[in-house]
Structures are given as structure tokens and as C-alpha cells.
Structure 1
Amino acid sequence: MTPAIRELSSSLKSQLQSQIDVVSLTSAIDELIQNSVDADAKHISVVFDPQALAVDITDDGCGMTPEDLALVGSPHRTSKIQSVDDLVNLVSKCADYNGTWIRRLPGRPTFLSDDDTIETLDKREVVPFHPDSHGTTILIRGLLYTLPVRQKLIKEKPLFRTLNNLREGILRILIAHPQIALHMHFINAKRELEKFLITEPQITPTSIDTYANILRSLYDEVVPKNSLKSLNLRYNEYSINGVISRVPVRTSDLQFITLNGRRYVNQSFSREINLLFRDSQFEPPNNTATYVGRPYRYYPLFILEITCPPNLNDMIQTPSKDINEATYKDIIHPLILKLLKSFLAIEGYTSDQRPAKENTLFPSASLSPSADPSQNLLSNIILSSKIRSSKVSLSEIHGRSNTNHQKKIMKGECAPKSIHTPLFEKSTNRNIAKPFTQKSRSGELLKTGTPSLTTGECNHEYVDNPVEININKAEFSNAIVINQIDNKFILVKIPSKEQEGVANLFILDQHACDERVILEDIQLQFLTQISKKLLSLQPTVGMTSTISNSETHLFEYYKDELNAWGVNFEINKTAEDKTINTTLSITTLPDLILQKYGSHVEFLKGAILQHLDDLQHSRKQQLSLLLKSNIHSKKLDDTTQRTNWPNYINCIPTLFMEIFNSKACRSAIKFGTPLFKTECELLISRLRLCQQPFQCAHGRPSILPFMTIAHPLASNLHQPYTVKETSWGGRACFATHDMPKGSVVLKSDDFTGALIQYEFRKEVCHYCYRYSEGKTLKIKITIDDVLDLMTDKNTWLSTNSKRFRGAGLWFCSNDCKHTYLGEPGVIDLIEIYEILLDNYSKMMKRHNPDDDNQKLLNSVDISKDIINAQWKKTQEWMVQIDKLKNTKKIFQLPVISEDEYTCCRFVAETLYRINSYDAGCDTLKSFWGLQSNELSKLEEFPILLHFQQLVFKTLYILLPDYMQSFFSIDIFRHIMGSEYGNAFGIWQEGESVDNREFFGYRVVPRASYFNHSCIPNLTKRRDGTTIRGANF
């Protein structure tokens, strides 16, 4: 008997609900501080213990009356709002407006009175305060005590992450309420009380001194105070106030935007901002360190307070009260970008490195310095004019006219000083896909072209249809060197995988190729020295620099990691005038770092901080952890294993990589150096062993497709045989002419249907059939992929999109997935797969394996009459089904097993493909001409007749209407009958015949005549999705 349904207890409901509101120590502290702010507190004191997950907070707020104390924490009770309008217009954006946060706090909260005697209150009761004192003290012990796993995860969280998260939340509160004095301490690992931050009340809100003091209290002197510039902008009901630093920082974590007092966290917009500054080459003006390219990242530090009309959607987006997508982002984003572009222009940072004129940048704006001329502050940008649009106008935001220089560009009188348009996209990771020229059999150049240097597309006047080419490392291993060209390039020939008798010509940059070879040799040698601890280190003298508290915690946490790279240091703290100054002293450095950057202490500190920033944001892996783990079966110091060391490449700090890149560039073969053919062959043979052979050390492409050449006999190889009836039964192929050994008789990548066995559905790629050696493939179709393909919003798939399961499709790579999704109309097939998967999951609950055995016992002798009679009964069943409503039909579904389920998918794919091919194409002609082996197969295995019935009935009920129109018993019987004896098995590659796995089968109509032969004189091979037959 099933248990009765009952309501959860109040305590359990509170514990479960609390996991939505408070998920960490930092969110609990943030909420407690907001609660104190909401009580109009002017002084707040916080002590927290990251290891014990305990918090003590005391404030001098207004407290509450005895009547209100009895209601504190009760569900949906608050003093702030009575309607939705109150919520939108709520002045205190920190308020716990739903009135349930304290009640749902997942710890043991205790309210204390502000007198000399402190006692725990077992129940809510009023303890009188001293008449002259008021406020609240809350003590929390055992946060998340009901969730020990989450407690463990929080305790294992690095201290610097906890403190950084706290800083972000506190910064928002202090910006909105600068009048608050906040004192925070924490219990460190030594169980000592350590100061976290102390802020004093700020008198003038939104002033540069206020922002500077808040930043200093949270992050110390991360940038000099005199480097901050004021930012002010007004546009209609929108205003932006804040500061920005003229000195860049090495992390993007010091960028803060608040929207009506709430934190605005929009990752895509943050990337757009940082890209703007990167393109403008926003770097330290006094940097004297030299390096090639732009390997180091610099970010702006800024605080922006945005005020705009309040909107309910912005108020209730997340439990943390953050805003991820602003309602008025179409206005706010352009305003912010306009303001930041103005700052860059005034500071001399522009994309074409031209000094911008203040009076032309904002035609309708007024730029005026602040009261302090030495700051050269940007302020009071007013994007308004006497002529006002009746609605929000982007042209008004962006300015109503162009600069003189922009006008000249539009007229064609001049061009920008520098235009960065890459010859290739940034997809040089072992694959290239670009237009190239073709050569006919007679040697004439066909009308194709090469990429344009300005657009990346073929735009020559003789270009008709560009041809796409793809090359990978495996194909590159077959490259044949022809010769050197112009003492700069190497011409190679690579046989085409797609067309027999065809080869593609490629041009390789000899300098880039040698640079890549040298770079990977340097990396291998360096990593070997690191693993064997043979790296040469030198002591340093006088390499000291001041670091902030946040930087101190970073250095302390990643000390072992930096030591692994030969960077050893000491952190010293000294007290001076009630302040603690922290100094970083670098004691040893590797020779190559000391030689290049020994005299650039601040730059070196910044480069190390960049690596630490990469580590905390998982852009780099930790070498110290990787060396301790057993992830890789081979040792890093085993130099004979060139396939193992690349796993550690992503661990190398940018500081080292930049030096390696420069070293490889200087040592590589230069342009203009003549090479013998044997030297070219040696270089290409070494390039084949590289992990990234198609790009140089700096990421630029090293190979370019040139043209295609074809063998004179290539066009005659497509129809070397004819199909004839034989006296011994069936049809067979006969050669139309003598062919040399190795000739390709047929190459076919078109098919009508495929089946992957249920047990291998997650281990075999559904596009190229690559096997993952028993491991579950990671790449599936997502609902976002499906929504991008959908044009009709009234389909079953759109209605049930929220429970999309991936249609039972797994892929070995994103390339396979995207190629699969690129097939015309494939969304129809995905929908059918998803319908089958959804209903099969429900059927599994009703399926009884004993039924399968019963079917075998019920097998009888089969004849043609019995088969036809059975299908006649099915026709009668169809008539009855058609009378039912769709909601009733679903209850007539037969219970099927995994074999019948996979066969349903096979038939569905066949229906989809025969409907997508052109009616007169060779594939369909071959398919409809395939011989049906239904009778012979059913005579041998009578149970298959019942099997077919289950598959047909399942599809007849579940297929969408647009598929029902061409689904009939005759078509179904031909699909099943032609599959028996004509399908090609999908077998595991690289294994012997006896040991290989059978993954499924595929029907390739044009190749079916070669499926069986008693005396074969040709080989059959599957290359991914292609069947290839070659003469012995």
C-alpha cells in the first residue's frame, strides 16, 4: 500500500526553502548586512568564522517594537510594502521585502538584547534594552547544518574566494549607503581575529573621494587615488555616476555596475566593454617592458551607478537581488559604451590611435572638467539637445553627426590607420576551411579564387563558386613536398579524402612552420625540467612590491603553484599608523624570467597576478595538482611520449609562454632563406609531430589552400560497372572495362536509414559512427539547438520543449553535431526521435521481459499467405484507430522492447530521408529497386512478423501528421524487407573480425549490390559515413 500524502512539517519546509535564499556563508552575511541597513543602522560590526560557518552581527539600527518582534520572520510579513507599486518604488533596495528571510535562515539564529547580560532566547520574547541604547545583535552558529555535504564544500572553498565575494556585495551596499560605518573581522586559519575591512561614514555621495575611500577600504591601494576620474552622464530619465581608473588592472573582477541600487551582472555586456578597451590598447602608459604582440591582459577599473525608471522585472530576477538582464538595456548599454568611449578618446586611447576632438565626439554633449583641474575629470555629459525626439532615439544617444574624419572615410577620401581583418577566422585549431582555386583535367584554372585580405571572402572578378576545403592532422601526415617557392613558402600536395584521383595543393609559411616546431620543442624541454625539478633558479635582490589584502590572499593560496614554476617569495606585514602594510618580496626566479624582466618589478608582479587570475577563473590549470593526480598514465618526464606532455600546456603561465614565443620567432627560419627539397621535407616531417601544426607560435595560420588538381582518369571512375540479373539468383555487378589495381569502383556517402544498437547508443557517434571505447559521449543536442532550427511554433516539440531529452542522439564532437544539425529539415527527424524517446520511457514502466519469451514460444511456420493475412488484420486495426481522438490513440500504443524501439527510429529516419531526396535521384531509384527479402527472413525467424507489427503500430500512432501522409503498410514492408540482406554492418574499426563490436547497420542503396559475394575481388571500407569500394 502506497504511503498517504501528507503536508511537510513547518521546520522541514523552512529548511528546504532556506536553500533557495541562502546557499553560502557570503550570501548569509550579505543578507544580514542588508537587514541592518534596512533598519537605518549607522554602525555595523560583523565577525565571521569561515571554518565554523558562524556569524555575529551587531548594529545600532532602530530595532523593533515588542509587537513586531513576535512577528519577525513570519512568512510574507514586512513593514516595507503593501502592493506591487510599493515594491517598484522601494527606496531601500536592500530590503528583505518578502519578510521571510530570517525565518528561513539555514542555521541557528539567536536574537540578543543590547545590554551587559547576554543570554540565548529559546523562544521569541522581549528583553528590555537600556533606554539610551538600541539595535540588534544576531548570532548564527552551524550555518547549513542540515546539509553536511554543502557545509563541507563551503569549508573547502578558498578563503580568497569568500572574501572577494563579500567585497562585491559590500561594495554595492556602501555605494548605495555611503553614510554607514562598517567594521568586519574574521577568524583566520590560525584561529586569530583578523581585520577584513573598516569603513568610515562618507559625507558626500557620488563624489570621487567617496568612491576612492570605498575602494581603498575594500581593496586597499589597488590603484593610486589620483588615477581615478569622475564619470557623469544624463539622458532624459537616465543618469550614470561613477569613477574609472586611468591605470589598468590585471583582473576584470574590479568592474562594478549598479542599477537602481542593485548589482547589474551581465556577462556578455562585460565582455563587450573589455573588448572595447582591448581594441583601444588600454595599457599602462609608463610600461617599459618589451614583448611581442599583446599576450598580457589589462582591464579598466570602474564603478558605475545607473539610475533609471524602476521596473518590476528588474526587482525579482534572482534571489540574490542581482539584475542579469536590464529591462532598458537597449538604452543603458549604448549610454555606458558612449561614456566609456568618450573617456578613452579624451585619454588618447582610440581604435585607430588618433587623438579625438572633444567638440566632435559628442555633437550634442557638453564636456566639462571637475572642480579639480589636476584630475582632468570627465563629467556632466548631457545627451540632450534643444531638438528632442518624441521617443528614445539611438541616433540621439550616439550623436546626431559624425566626426570630420568619419565623414572622410564614408566618402572614400581616407581610410582608417589600422584595420585588423584576419585572413582566416580564429579557427586554426587543426582544421582549415577556405576557398581555393581549382585546376581542370586539362590544366586550366577554373573560375575560383583566393580570400580577400579585407573581407576574408572571394571577391575577384573571375570567381563563381568558391570551394570549401578541410584538412586535419591525419590528412596532413600524407603531405608530399613539391618544392620551395620564392624562398618563403613550401608547396605541398595532399591527396583528397573526398575524391579519388584528386589532390589539393597547399602553401606553407616556412617561418611559421619552423616557429611552431621550435616552440613545441622548447615547451617539451621546459616541462621536462619542471617535472624533474632541474629548472635553473637565481636569487633576486631588492625585488619588493606592495600588495593589497585581496592580492595577499591570492599569493598565499597559490604559493605551491608559483613555487612549482620557480617563483619563490615571502610576504611581510608591517604596522604603521594603525594600518598594516603588506609587502611581496620575490626571492628566486628562473633564469629566463630574471634576465628579461629582472628590472621591471611592477610589470613582473602584474604578470604573476594575471596568472593567478587565470587560475581562479579556470583559464589555466594548476600544474601542482596535475602532477599529483593520476589523470595521465604516462609521466611528464618521459620524453619518449610526445602524446602526453601537451596535457600540461595549458598550465604554463603567460609570462613563460611570451618568452618562448619570442625565442621561437627569433630562432626560426627567416623569409628569404633558400632551402633544399630535403630540408623542406625534414621541416614538414617535424611539423607533422606538432600538436598544432596549422598555426605559428603567435596563433597566426601557417598553411593556405591553393588549388585542386585532378587525375585524368578521375571522371571515368564513377560508372565502372553495370548491374545484371544472374542465373544463380538475384542481381550482381559486372565491370564495364578493365581497371588497374586499386581503382575506386564506388564511393557512396548517401544512405536511407541507419540503426545503432540500444546498448551502444551513448558510445557511438550518431553522425560519423566513431566509437568512444565504452565511454559515454559528452555532446548532445540541446533545447537551444532545437529552438534555433524551429520555424513552426505549433509542433509537438515546441509544446514540450521544457522536457527535451536530446532525442537520443550523441556525438563525438561539436563538428559532427553541427554537421548533423545542418541537414535540411532535420528538425522533423529530431521531433520524431524525441516523441519516440518520450513514449518509450513511459512504456518501459509497463514492459515485462517475460512477454518477450512468450512471443518466442508462440512462433509458428510462416508463409506468404500468413504474412498477408496478418497485415490485413493490421489494416482493420488502422481503421479503428483512425476513429479515435489523438488523446485516446496514445492508450493503444503496444508495449515495445529496446530492439523494437531502435527499429522504430530506423524506420522513422528512412521515411525522413526518402522524403528529403529528389524524386529522380540515383539514391531513391536504387532504394525502390532493392530486392525485398521479407519472406525468406520471416521463414527463418517467424518472430520477426510480430516484431514488425509492434514497430508499425507504434509509428502509426506516434508519427506526426506530415509524416503520416507518406507512411503506409507497403512502404513499411519495403523498408523492412530491403533492410534484410542489403544493410551494411557498422563494425568497430581497428579490431580483428573475431574481436570487433557490432554497433548496428546502415542501408546504402547504391552500394547494396556489393554487400555479399562468394568470390570478392574488391575491398569494402567505411570512412566515417562513406562506403568505399576498391578493386584488388
Structure 2
Amino acid sequence: MEKGVSKLHPNVSTALRSQVLTVTFASAIREVVQNSVDAGASRVKVVFDPTKLSFIVTDNGRGIDSQDLNQVGRQYFTSKIRNLDDLKQLNTFGFRGEALFYISNISHVTVVTKSLNSNQSWIKKFPLSCCVYKGQQEVDPWFKLDFLPKEKSGTITLVRDVFHNVPVRRKLLNQQPLFKTIFEIKKDLFQILMKHPETKLEVAYLDHHGKHNQLIISSDIKPEMDYFLKLSQCFSNVFGPVIPTDMFSRVSVGYKDCSVIGLISKCSVRFRENQYIYLNGRRYVDQSFKKLINGVFQTAGFGTVIHSTNSMRNIGKTPSNYPLIIFDVRCPNVAEDLTQDPAKDILSSSQAQILHPLIIRAVNSFLANQGHVANHLMIDEIACDTPRMISPKKHVLLSPEIPQSGLGFNKQTSEMKLLGKSCLSNIRIPRCSKREYEVAKPVNNKLREDKQGTVARLVLQAVQGKPNYNNTTPLPNWNNLGGSEVIRSAECKLDRRHLAEAEVIKQIDEKFILLKVPPAGALTNTLLVILDQHACDERIKLECSLNDFLHQVFDGTLVTQPVSSCAIDVDVTDGYLFKHYKDEFEKWGIFYDIRMSNLVDCLLVVSSLPEVLQVKANGDKMFLKDVLFQMVHDLKNSKKLPISKLYAKHHCESPKKAFKWWKYVHYLPVTFQDIFNKRACRSAVMFGDTLSIPECTSLVKKLAICRMPFLCAHGRPSAIPLLELTTAAARYNMTSKNAKNPYLDYKVDT
């Protein structure tokens, strides 16, 4: 390679640029189909082969005159616009004159076309010139270039071997799961049908065996149908029966020359993939605004009805409930909006100050009609584009002026940090309700873990000058007690070794265990620590359960139980998703088959489940469906990593006691984690249980060998430092009446 700076060869720069504009196989299909509808096609047929990365699009559009055909596919050649002012009246998807040019630079493209004023078909094989089409020698029946009838017009576009000259990108596309390709194609084609709902669209694909599979048929939309009915029917034609069509509610609102019309589902869905906002036919992908819309629905309590009577549905996090949204937003075109993204999506509208409040008004009207009370405070905030914080667990609107002080812990570390006006005034775990705990959860937790993950830092830090907004009675401040200044700025490090050497003083109020931790390592003085007896035993039982279960998974000895008559209805899109992750589910002891009889009907037939899930599901199909959907969408969205590849590399050969379960706990499905958490909680020592000194000592010894001894199963603290006994404390009056009994909320014998 020559040294110095030089201009890239045109072929190189074009190939690099083509990868930016044609990012995926689905985007190439989208661009060609958009060209078809821009040419006035009322019927479009698509067949694609995801294995060979090839596709063919046939339409009955206006066709291309022979004199224009040689200009097709040249960079910046287009019939849509002549100058920037034309963008204001633009009514087509394409306008840049780039799509076919870039596709032809990374694939083999052939176009056969015929216009009405021509008696013969013409063919152009890029980059050659066009000529009269005389037939072909193609042997593949699905990618056949037919003659177009003399009395009709249309175009056939054949694209073969996408990214044939970019082997790395081609390899990545070949590794992409089929369900992702199918879902991308469906989303892209639904955008086209949203703007042209009467277009008769047929889509099919060839699987890896070469079998022809019908994917989409949208041919039942009549001109006389209501626009809202057209929308709902198009959605069902593309995505299948995600929800019944009669569960859509119509919304319509306008202001001056802007309008919002569309559909919102009356019932909720668990995932937000099916939320579509189109601005003048283009995807509006402002994610922050979509997040705020979902916040309005959540604060209004949308979709909170529990359909299952199984108590296990209350385990762990409440399932998210999202509306299915289809909004067709119309307003004057703005050139800056149309040139933001290579895919011609709109990332941020220049008219957001009008459109956002208009959309929120439509949402508010829907919620009111459905009997939900929207949070007007939050709606006002969204309307003026000043978002507020929302608690992710309880959807509680938090006022920014309320200090976020309290106890905060990170489930992924053994380290904890105590924040508040004083160390004792924050010990509220027994009195603080779950809701109060979550609202008061601090946002400034800075938790660190050593390389072995065994050290916990107990940091005592003051938050000065802020009132306490919790509805709890704080314990007395230490400002008047001896030793306060010594401990307020101290950083005390505890690890499992300290717990192993700790001495049990006694049980307190049948709730806590008081320990005296001798100085060792980084701990230079004796420390008094109070343990939550329930949290400690809960942590011990949880880690035992996780070790047993994960060892069985990797050892291949996981016990499963057969299930009879368990067929669950799923839409076709999710059917492909479950097909892809079938091996992953089997590693967790969940066995099923996918049965697709047509474009609409799809059944997930479960044949066996692991014992831990079988017992809890107890025949409740709705609960089981929620569990399976949670698992598959967590895998799809990379919230959980697949264990299949890891399983092959790390097949368990070590004994159970030596098994390092904590390396794999992040792969554990959420529902399994919730079940084990609940089991540990129910079987652990409770508040009110009397423990002898030997029993307390045994509990502490078991806790000392836990991987994360300072957190309960739910992430709350199991240990709180009370007092560091130092020589400096002797200068204070530690025998005063107040110092003898600082725990005014509890009975402590001194």
C-alpha cells in the first residue's frame, strides 16, 4: 500500500457507502417494494431466499420507458423531484436517486420492465445497457423473469447475492436468525401498506430446504372500507392475530393543518415492539417520545387487570403492559425532516412542539374513554417537553425536589452504601413498606466489587440540609451521642471472613441478630453489626437453590415432568421466534413443538416442563404463556444471553460443592429467579421466630460462606453497621441515659 493521503477509488467509496444505505437484507427488499408502489403498483409480489440472500419483486406499476431504463440505477438520477422545493409536496417514499444504485453495487441486479406505450419488454442487467427482453435460461422457478403481457405494464426486479463482494457483511447476514429477518421485512412492508392499504401484497420465502412458505397475503382491503378498518385489517394481514380486530379503538384529533388518526388497543400487550408512529408515511423513531407515551399509559394504570388466578403471577416484577399503537400523523413536509436518516426515517420532527401535544391529546382521550385516569401532571410535562422521573417498578411519579435518600443496594455486588442524615436514622427496613422502599431508592448508588466479589463496603455518609419525606418515624439522630463524629466519615469494609469470625451477642426483638465483629484486615476497630435474621436465612436458602438448579442444568440431570393438553395460541411472528430459540428452551427443561397450519393459526404445544415450573404453573396456561413469552423476548432483546453455546463449552463435570453457580446466574430466566426468590422467602426464618445463641451462630456461619452475604433474595440489606468501638469514643459520655438505649424503636436489653 502506498503511503500518504490519496482519494479512494470510486469503486471502493461506492462499496463503503452502499453498506451505509443498504444495511440489511430486509432494507434492500424495502427499497425495491417502495419503488413499486411509487410507480403506482396496485399488486406487488415478493419472494425471498434468506439463505442465498436473493429476492424478486414483481409489480403491475407503470413500468419504465426504454429511454429511461438506462438511467435507472445511476447515482442521483430520479423522477421524484427536481429541486429542494419539491420536497414540500413529496408524496413518494423515494426521492434521492440512490437506493437501486447502491443495491446494484453490492449485488447482482436485473430489471425487466414494460410500459403501456410499449409493445415489448425490456431488460437491464446492471451495469450493462438495456435491450429487448427475449427470455431467459433461469432454472429456479421462484426467481423466474416472465414476459409481461402486451396489454399491461409492470416491472420485475431480481436481486441476487446481496453483499457478494463484502464477505464479512454477508457472513453476518447469513448468521442473522430467520425470525429477525422476517420481523424486519414485516415492519417495512406494514409501513408501505399503512400509506397504501389497498395494495394487494403477497410475500413468500424459501427456507433452508428450498420449501416455499407463504408469509403475507394482504388482498382483502376494499376501497369502500373505513380507513380505520383498513388499518386494523392490514395489521392483522401482516403480523397475524396479535389482538382481535375488535379490540382496537379509533382515535382522531387535529389542529390547523396537522392531524393524528389511528388505532390504540383496548387490551395490553407485554412488549412494545408493536408501536408504530408514521409521520407523512415515514417512520417516526423518536424513542424518548415513545417512552413518554408509554409513561402516560403506565401512570394511568393501563393494562393492570390480572387475568390469572394463580398466585404465582404475583412473583417478582409485575409484567409490563403496553398499548398496541398505530398512529398516522399528517402535517406539512419539511425538507430537514426528510434528510435525517439514510433509511428515510424521521428521527426528530421540526414540528414536535405541535405534534407531540396533539398525540398526547389523542392518548388522553382514549384513556378517558376507556375509564382510565391519566396523570395530568405528567401529561403537562410531556406537552411542554420537560420529562420527569418515573419509578421503573411502581410507575410512581417522583417529584424532582424530593431527595432520593435511603438504603440502596446493587443485586450484582456484595457492596452496600448507607445514605441519610445519620447512620441510625436510616435503619428503617422493618418499618418501611415495599412501596416506600422503592420510591425512596437512591439514584446515586456507586457500588464496587473486588476481583473475588467477596468484599462489602459499608459506607456511612451524611446527606446534609435535606428534610425526610418518608412516612416513617426516624430513629433518633446520633448528633448528641458519643462517637458520632468518629463514625460519620468512616469507611468500614466487611467481607465473609469478618462474618465467620463474628461473635453473636444475642437476638434482638425476635427480628435481628446483634454481632460483635473483631478487627481484622481493613477493619481496624471492633464493629457492632445488626443482621436481619429473615434476610440472612433467605440469602442462604436462595444460594443453595441456585447452586442445585444450575448444577442440574449444566450436568444434564434436570428433572422434567410431562405436560398433557397444553396448546397455546401464538401469532405467526412469535412462532418463528420460538422456533429459533427451541434449543435454548430445552436446556432449561422446556420442550415444545411449533405447529403452523396457515398464515394465521399457530400453536405452541408444550410437552414437558422442569419440575420447578410445572409445580408453580399448576395447569394455568395464561401464566405459562406469560412465562414463555417473557423468556423468548428477553432472549430476543438480549436482556438474557443464550446458554446453549455456553453449555457446550462448560458442560459440568465438577461436584456440586465446587460448582461456581454465580458465573451463570445472569443466564437464568427471570421467572426462575423469581420462583427461587419466593421459595427462599417463604421457607426462611421469619420475624417473630425465637432463635437461641447456637442457632444464631449457625445462621451467621452459613451466611459467611454465601457468595453475596450482605443482600437478601430481593436485594435488600441483610447487615447494617451500628457502632465502631474506638478509643476516641471513650472521650464521650457513652454511659449516658441516651447512649444506653439508642434503639428507641426496639426493646434492647443493655
Note whether the superposition's TM-score is higher than 0.5. yes
CA distance in 2, matches of 1:714, 1:311: 75
User: Which of the numbers 251, 255, 272 marks the counterpart of 1:252?
Assistant: 272
Q: CA deviation at 1:107?
A: 0.6
CA distance in 1, matches of 2:109, 2:535: 65
| SS of 1:113 mapped into structure 2 | strand
Tell me the SS of whatever aligns to 2:273. Answer: helix
* 1:622 shift after superposition: 1.5
SS of residue matched to 2:170: helix
In structure 2, what is the equivalent of residue 710 of structure 1? 726
Q: Given the superposition, is the C-alpha separation of residues 285 and 214 from structure 1 closer, same or farther in structure 2, using an over 3 Å criterion?
A: farther
Greater RCO between the two (CA within 8 Å, min separation 6)? 2
1-side partners of 2:6 and 2:728: how far apart? Answer: 82
Q: Write out per-residue CA displacement over residues 658-716 of structure 1, whole angstroms, 9 at most, x where no aligned residue.
A: 22122111101111112223322332332233333333223334344545543338999
1:520-539 map, 5 Å: 520-539=543-562
Deviation at 1:216, TM superposition (A): 1.0
> Residue 43 of structure 1: CA displacement?
0.9
Deviation of 1:603 after TM superposition, in Å, equals 2.6
Which one of the candidate residues 429, 435, 440 is aligned to 2:419? 435
Partner of 2:434: none
Superposed counterparts of 1:632-1031, under 5 Å: 635=652, 637-641=654-658, 644-712=660-728
C-alpha deviation, 1:614, in angstroms: 0.5
Is the 8 Å Cα contact of residues 501 and 714 (structure 1) preserved in structure 2?
no
Q: Report SS of the residue matched to 2:236.
A: helix
Displacement of 1:247: 2.3
Q: Give distance in 1, aligned partners of 2:547 and 2:467.
A: 35
Q: Is the 8 A contact 2:197 2:231 kept in 1?
A: no
Aligned residues: 649
State whether residues 109 and 125 of structure 2, in contact with CA within 8 Å, keep that contact through their aligned partners in structure 1: no
- With 427-436 and 585-594 compared, the bigger mean Cα shift is at 427-436
Alignment of 1:533-612 (within 5 A): 533-574=556-597, 581-612=601-632
Q: Look up the equivalent residue of 2:16 and give its one-letter code.
A: L
Q: What SS does structure 1 have at the residue aligned with 2:319? A: coil
Amino acid at match of 1:581: D
Cα separation, partners in 2 of 1:131 and 1:80, compared to 1, 3 Å: same
2:100 is paired with a residue whose SS is coil
Given that residues 49 and 55 in structure 1 are in contact (C-alpha distance below 8 angstroms), is that contact kept between their aligned partners in structure 2?
yes
Q: Deviation at 1:612?
A: 0.6
C-alpha distance 60-40 of structure 1, shift in aligned 2 (>3 A): same
Q: Is the 8 A contact 1:501 1:711 kept in 2?
A: no
Following the alignment from structure 1 to structure 2, what is the Cα–Cα distance between the partners of residues 319 and 183?
A: 26
What residue ranges of structure 2 are gaps of 5+ in the alignment? 134-147, 386-397, 425-460, 733-750
Query: 1:99-114 to 2 correspondence within 5 Å?
Result: 99-105=97-103, 106-113=106-113
1:306 and 1:425 mapped to 2: Cα distance?
Answer: 43
Check conservation: 1:423, 1:452, Cα contact below 8 A: no
Could you tell me whether the CA contact under 8 Å between 2:61 and 2:155 is conserved in 1?
A: yes
1:321 is matched with which residue? Answer: 344
Per-residue Cα deviation, 1:295-337 (whole angstroms, up to 9, x for no partner)? 5333322222233443333222221122333334455445545
Alignment map for 1:403-414 (pairs within 5 Å): none
Aligned-pair CA distance for 1:108? 1.0
CA shift for structure 1 position 164: 0.9
Match of residue 290 from structure 1 = 311
Distance 1:159 1:681, change over 3 A: same
Distance 1:495 1:260, change over 3 A: farther
In structure 2, the CA distance between the partners of 1:192 and 1:470, relative to structure 1 (3 Å rule), is farther
**Aligned match for 1:261, one of 281, 284, 298:** 281
Q: Matches of 2:5 and 2:463 in 1, distance apart?
A: 72
CA-CA distance at 1:545 after TM superposition: 1.9
Report the Cα offset of residue 569 of structure 1. 1.4
Q: Whole-Å Cα distance in 1 between the matches of residues 382 and 585 of structure 2? A: 51
Q: For residue 23 of structure 1, what is the aligned residue in structure 2? A: 23
Q: How does 1:195-274 map to 2 (within 5 A)?
A: 195-200=214-219, 201=221, 203=223, 207-274=227-294
TM-score, L = length of structure 1: 0.57
**Maintained 8 Å contact 1:501/1:713:** no
Give the SS at the match of 1:675: coil
Following the alignment from structure 1 to structure 2, what is the Cα–Cα distance between the partners of residues 715 and 516? 39
Contact 1:431/1:471 (CA < 8 Å) preserved in 2? no
Listed one character per residue, the Cα deviations across residues 99-125 of structure 1 (whole Å, up to 9, x for unaligned) are: 122122111111113599897647322
Write the distance in 1 (CA, Å) between the matches of 2:293 and 2:604.
31
Conserved in 2, the CA contact under 8 Å of 1:60 and 1:136?
yes
> Could you say which residue in structure 2 is the equivalent of 1:144?
163
Contact persistence 1:500–1:714 (CA under 8 A): no
Return the letter of the residue paired with 2:207: N
Which deviates the most, 241-250 or 706-715? Answer: 706-715
Look up the equivalent residue of 1:259 and give its one-letter code.
L
Q: Deviations over 1:331-367 (max 9, x none)?
A: 54455455445544554555xxxxx7xxx979xxxxx
CA distance in 2, matches of 1:534, 1:503: 46
Aligned equivalent of 1:167, options 162, 166, 186: 186
| Structure 2 CA distance for aligned equivalents of residues 431 and 500 of structure 1 | 15
Aligned runs of 1:52-451 on 2, under 5 Å?
52-92=52-92, 94-95=93-94, 97-105=95-103, 106-113=106-113, 121=125, 123-127=128-132, 130-200=149-219, 201=221, 203=223, 207-278=227-298, 280=301, 282-291=303-312, 292-329=315-352, 332-337=355-360, 339-340=362-363, 343-344=366-367, 346-349=369-372, 423-425=406-408, 427=410, 429-435=413-419, 437=422
How far, CA to CA, are the matches of 2:407 and 2:363 in structure 1?
A: 30
Equivalent residues of 2:87, 2:334 under 8 A apart: no
**Is the contact between residue 448 and residue 463 of structure 1 (CA under 8 Å) also seen in structure 2?**
no
Shift in alpha-carbon separation, 1:396–1:433, aligned structure 2, 3 A: closer
Q: How many angstroms apart in 2 are the aligned matches of 1:187 and 1:601? A: 33
Higher deviation after alignment, 32-41 or 312-321: 312-321
Q: Aligned residue for 1:866?
A: none
SS in structure 1 opposite 2:592? strand
Question: Matches of 2:28 and 2:13 in 1, distance apart?
Answer: 19
Task: Specify the code of the residue in structure 2 equivalent to 1:639.
Answer: K
Task: For 2:248, give the aligned amino acid.
Answer: L
Equivalent-residue separation in structure 2 for 1:475 and 1:182 (angstroms): 65
1:490-505 correspondence runs (5 A): 490-493=513-516, 502=525, 505=528
When residues 596 and 28 of structure 1 are mapped into structure 2, their CA distance, relative to the original with a 3 A threshold, is: same
Q: Secondary structure of the equivalent of 1:584?
A: strand
Query: Cα distance, 1:186 vs. partner?
Result: 0.6
Which ranges in structure 1 are unaligned for 5 or more consecutive residues?
351-355, 363-382, 384-392, 399-414, 440-445, 717-1032
Q: Return the letter of the residue paired with 1:618.
A: S
Q: Name the CA shift for 1:252/1:635 in 2 (closer, same or farther; >3 Å).
A: same
Mapped to 1, the partners of 2:382 and 2:274 lie a distance apart of: 31
Instruction: Give how far 1:37 is off.
Output: 1.8
Cα distance change on mapping 1:491 and 1:320 into 2, 3 Å = farther
Are 2:58 and 2:157, in contact at CA under 8 Å, matched by a contact in 1? yes
Mapped to 1, the partners of 2:472 and 2:27 lie a distance apart of 49
CA distance in 1, matches of 2:529, 2:363: 44
Counterpart CA distance in 2 for 1:46 and 1:221 is 22
TM-aligned CA deviation for residue 12 of structure 1: 4.1
Query: RMSD over aligned Cα, in angstroms?
Result: 4.1
Counterpart position of 1:33: 33
Rate the CA distance shift 1:270–1:209 in 2: closer, same or farther, 3 A: same
Whole-angstrom CA distance in 1 between matches of 2:494 and 2:470: 28
Q: Deviations over 1:212-254 (max 9, x none)?
A: 2122112211112222222333345543222222322232211
1-side partners of 2:363 and 2:584: how far apart?
Answer: 36
Q: Quickly say closer, same or farther: Cα 1:475–1:50, change in 2 above 3 A.
A: same
CA contact (8 A) 1:113 1:127 kept: no
C-alpha change, 1:567 and 1:427, in structure 2 (3 Å) is closer
Q: Secondary structure at the match of 1:640?
A: helix
1:270 offset after TM fit, Å?
3.8
CA contact (8 A) 2:122 2:130 kept: no
Q: Which is higher, the Rg of structure 1 or of structure 2?
A: 1
Deviations 1:401-460 (A, max 9, x none): xxxxxxxxxxxxxx99xx998943464543222236479xxxxxx999999462999998
Amino acid at match of 1:661: N
**Aligned-partner SS, 1:102:** helix
In the alignment, what sits opposite 1:719?
none
